[in-house]
Structure 1
Amino acid sequence: MTTTTLVGQASAPADFEQQTYSKVFWRLVPFLMLCYVIAYLDRVNVGFAKLQMAQDLGFSETVFGLGAGIFFLGYFLFEVPSNLLMSKVGARLWIARIMVTWGLLSAAFVFVQTPTQFYVLRFLLGLAEAGFYPGVILYLTLWYPAHRRARIVAVFMSAIPVAGIFGNPLSGWIMDSMHSAASLHGWQWMFLIEALPALLIGVAVLVYLDNNIAQAKWLSADEKKLLQSEIDKDQAHGAKGPHSVAEVFKDGRIWWMAAIYFAFVMGQYALTFWLPSLVKATGVQGNLNVGLLSAIPFLCAIVAMNLFGRSADQRRERRWHLIIPAAMGAVGFTVAASFAHNTTVSLVFLSLAAAGVLTCAPLFWSLPTAFLSGTAAAAGIAAINSVGNLAGFASPYLIGYLKDSTGSTAIGMYVLAGALVVGAVLVWLTPRELVNR
């Protein structure tokens, strides 16, 4: 047998595996990204609405911060039940339900007139959307083994900066160009128009998504066999984690992961909710201009997220690929806060902060999914995400309260930098053998 023949036989399985995973990627990931772009835009466009809404309705910084953050109380309460329900009824039906419900509630913000109405709708929006993000993370574990997930989750979570890149200028344009049309304010038009895609894509989910590998008619029998064997081997390797819902809540590692995620989410949502206000505070005029400049940090984040995700999978190293972005975020927030009235310096370091904090989010999930599998994964991922996302309540409210109290966002941004440092330290203290797969 010639050397050429041996090489050909060795490379054929590898080529088939690569082609199969490429097929799965193009079928699932772009569509899930589109869903998350819409989800994230409907979750954080309230930050852009604030530029008009706060003045029109007389909302203080504290009222806005509380309303922005109260979303995550509803999110917290329903996230674990939502993920467990998804594991029972399947991703296709449950993700469709989530998207249609949040689309209707997002459109209802057109009718907000009082702080109480604002709080109630934000809370209900959190209830409606709970389970989407952890549900997708769980869904991806049904298709990809642990050593492939960091890059895939990083690509999926590129939806966050994509939502900022396109959503911020779009929101600014809608608010400026449609203000007073049909007797509605610009922010009302923004909520209405940006809610429609959630309804349309929610219906499309029912047609497009498959619950698992076995149901995917677009895969051949050999492709299904390959994918399922990889998942089976991965779950056998992950047997060191909890195996039931009860064990999940008794496992100290779950709460350790939740603490790390809480620290990172503090930075993430402070950035996404307050970035338009931070950019405007440097002296930028016009909502469209604010939107265009606010897109720059998100462009930087897309590059960083995917470079770090690819590197983490190639090296099968997780901890330092989280510690370095967390440090970038801390430095970015600190310097941006110190030069709050200099547009150029602020944008450069807000871009560094965005690259750091938004990279932390997808790479974080390679830690807990390395030791979670089966039913425990559904409960564990949701528990970590729900507790961690309470930071989404804390950070916008903290920034708003401190700004009302001090007249500046600087102190709040220094606190966020400190939270990122704490998160980095907790990652460093995580045993390497637990998470490097």
Structure 2
Amino acid sequence: MTTVNDDKLFRKVMLRVLPLAMLGFFLSYLDRVNIGYAQETMSADLGFSYAVYGLGAGLFFVGYFIFEIPSNLILAKVGARKWIARIMISWGIISGLMFFVNSEWMFYALRFILGVAEAGFIPGILFYMASWFPPSRRGRAWGIFYIALASSGLIGGPVSGVILAGMDGVAGHAGWQWLFFIEAIPTVVLGVVILFALQEDFRTVKWLNGAEKDRLGALLAAEAPSGGHTPLREVFKSKLIWMLTAVYFSYNFALYGISFWLPNLVGELGFAGPIAIGFISAIPSLAAIVSMVTFGFLSDRVGERKKFIAAAFVLSALGFALCIVAGTDNPILGVIGLSLANAGALSIPAIFWSFQTSMLAGTALAGGIALINSTGNLAGFAAPYLIGAVKDSLGSATVALYVTGAIMLVGAVLVLTIKRSGRVPREGDAPAEMRKVAEQNSI
């Protein structure tokens, strides 16, 4: 009988499964937040106030919220390959249509429709990856997967700066228009590639031999949620799910507060010009890559989720505090603060999802991920609009930084209050058993 080395097995799985998923995640985030790099020149050309920009940036998440759960439930029925390809192609086309924005209402409409088109992508990818990695391996896998999120800033910042500067005036159009058009093209192309190349079932792939398939299947079955299927209605009734949603909302408040306003905040530190701002904006993303891989690896190694998530929240809050102290007079301290805030925030999701996906199965897995992700992502509406409104009213984002830092501390407290015994009920659970069950891979 052939013995399979688990570490080698999952290295092989990572090399085959993660690249397409990571590239899709990279492009989704780039198309979502490249508006932050376009903000200054687009707003100047179209006469948008900070509040108008913040509202438009946030309306993406309203469409996302409304359509994410239906989108993910469809994915569970038709399969990841077809539905993720549909999502990418449609959102790529709509993102490219931002080229034609000429009014506030068109801006609002396209941002909302972009959220509708992209709804379900990230939880769909997480649902897909849960069929390849058992809970004990997800912290490391998603720590690597979420590098794509930080890389979109690391690479996207400089690239966006170059496009803004180099394409401005080409064919009579502004640099921000070309930014949306050019960065939409790879998304559409990748959607077509995924339609033909994404492999959904480990039992049918040719790059695993029979022994490896058997071992992977055994590991997935051994760590699958016990006690049968989770009825979807129980997801909506679960206090634990809503607590996790509140934690995820806190994380997203910082993430999108930084993402949509990072170029503007960097500009307030004294850096001028789209290329300089693009390259300086990449530094917080580089810090996040180091942090998120470290947090993911250590949380898997010691088998602990809760304390690492809380520590990441506190690290982010510390970064926002440094931003406040730096003000506009100390650019080095300001960049360090933004780096810590971003590093802490981006270290949260990989550990967070490795817990959440261990609780559910089947349709409820898709629905549970989508409920937490879509509702928590409403912070993506609140944070950009808050910062824009504060900047319009006070001329500075300092008050918004106070609020964001405080919300990160609230997130740390919330996650520390989650009990280890929390779990969503499943069909076949007896009441006494439900009271006794403890989640092995809990936060």
- Structure-1-length-normalised TM-score: 0.95
1:241-271 CA distances to partner (integer Å, 9 max, x unpaired)?
9711111111111111101100111001111
Q: Which residue of 2 aligns with 1:391?
A: 379
SS of the equivalent of 1:150 reads helix
> Of the candidates 367, 374, 380, which is equivalent to residue 368 of structure 2?
380
- Is 1:316 the counterpart of 2:319? The answer is no
Q: State how far apart, in whole Å, the 1-side matches of 2:166 and 2:334 are.
A: 27
Confirm or deny: 8 A CA contact 2:35 2:57 kept in the other structure: yes
Structure 1 47/436 Cα, relative in aligned 2: closer, same or farther at 3 Å?
Answer: farther
Confirm or deny: 8 A CA contact 2:46 2:103 kept in the other structure: yes
> Of the candidates 82, 94, 114, which is equivalent to residue 103 of structure 2?
114
- Is 1:424 the counterpart of 2:412? The answer is yes
Correspondence list, 1:265-344, <5 A? 265-341=252-328, 342-344=330-332
Q: State how far apart, in whole Å, the 2-side matches of 1:135 and 1:197 are.
A: 20
Sequence identity percentage: 44
Q: State how far apart, in whole Å, the 2-side matches of 1:72 and 1:413 are.
A: 21
Confirm or deny: 8 A CA contact 2:247 2:411 kept in the other structure: yes
Structure 1 242/54 Cα, relative in aligned 2: closer, same or farther at 3 Å?
Answer: farther
Q: Which residue of 1 aligns with 2:333?
A: 345
**Which amino acid in the other structure matches residue 377 of structure 2?**
N
Q: State how far apart, in whole Å, the 2-side matches of 1:134 and 1:319 are.
A: 21
Structure 1 336/70 Cα, relative in aligned 2: closer, same or farther at 3 Å?
Answer: same
1:190-213 CA distances to partner (integer Å, 9 max, x unpaired)?
001000000111011022211222
Confirm or deny: 8 A CA contact 2:151 2:285 kept in the other structure: yes
Structure 1 429/242 Cα, relative in aligned 2: closer, same or farther at 3 Å?
Answer: farther
Q: State how far apart, in whole Å, the 2-side matches of 1:344 and 1:286 are.
A: 18
SS of the equivalent of 2:168 reads coil
**Which amino acid in the other structure matches residue 414 of structure 2?**
L
Shift of 1:433: 4.8
Higher helix share: 1
Shift of 1:14: 5.4
In structure 1, runs of 5+ residues without a counterpart are: 1-8
- Is 1:160 the counterpart of 2:165? The answer is no
1:153-173 CA distances to partner (integer Å, 9 max, x unpaired)?
111111111000110111111
Q: Which residue of 2 aligns with 1:3?
A: none
Shift of 1:227: 1.1
Confirm or deny: 8 A CA contact 2:319 2:341 kept in the other structure: yes
Q: State how far apart, in whole Å, the 1-side matches of 2:127 and 2:333 are.
A: 39
Q: State how far apart, in whole Å, the 2-side matches of 1:436 and 1:243 are.
A: 17
> Of the candidates 101, 111, 123, which is equivalent to residue 134 of structure 1?
123
Confirm or deny: 8 A CA contact 2:254 2:404 kept in the other structure: yes
Q: State how far apart, in whole Å, the 1-side matches of 2:323 and 2:4 are.
A: 47
Confirm or deny: 8 A CA contact 2:4 2:212 kept in the other structure: no
- Is 1:408 the counterpart of 2:396? The answer is yes
Shift of 1:220: 2.0
More divergent stretch after superposition (66-75 vs 219-228) = 219-228
Shift of 1:52: 0.7
Confirm or deny: 8 A CA contact 1:65 1:401 kept in the other structure: yes
SS of the equivalent of 1:366 reads helix
Confirm or deny: 8 A CA contact 1:175 1:187 kept in the other structure: yes
More divergent stretch after superposition (191-200 vs 215-224) = 215-224
Across the aligned residues of Structure 1 and Structure 2, the Cα RMSD in angstroms comes to: 1.4
Shift of 1:374: 1.9
Q: Which residue of 2 aligns with 1:5?
A: none
Q: State how far apart, in whole Å, the 2-side matches of 1:81 and 1:112 are.
A: 29
Shift of 1:335: 1.6
Q: Which residue of 1 aligns with 2:68?
A: 79
Q: State how far apart, in whole Å, the 1-side matches of 2:210 and 2:361 are.
A: 24
Confirm or deny: 8 A CA contact 2:4 2:215 kept in the other structure: no
Q: State how far apart, in whole Å, the 1-side matches of 2:389 and 2:355 are.
A: 33
Q: Which residue of 2 aligns with 1:13?
A: 3
1:250-307 CA distances to partner (integer Å, 9 max, x unpaired)?
1111111101100111001111111100000111111000000000010000000000
Q: State how far apart, in whole Å, the 2-side matches of 1:242 and 1:138 are.
A: 15
Confirm or deny: 8 A CA contact 1:242 1:248 kept in the other structure: no
In structure 2, runs of 5+ residues without a counterpart are: 423-438
**Which amino acid in the other structure matches residue 417 of structure 1?**
G
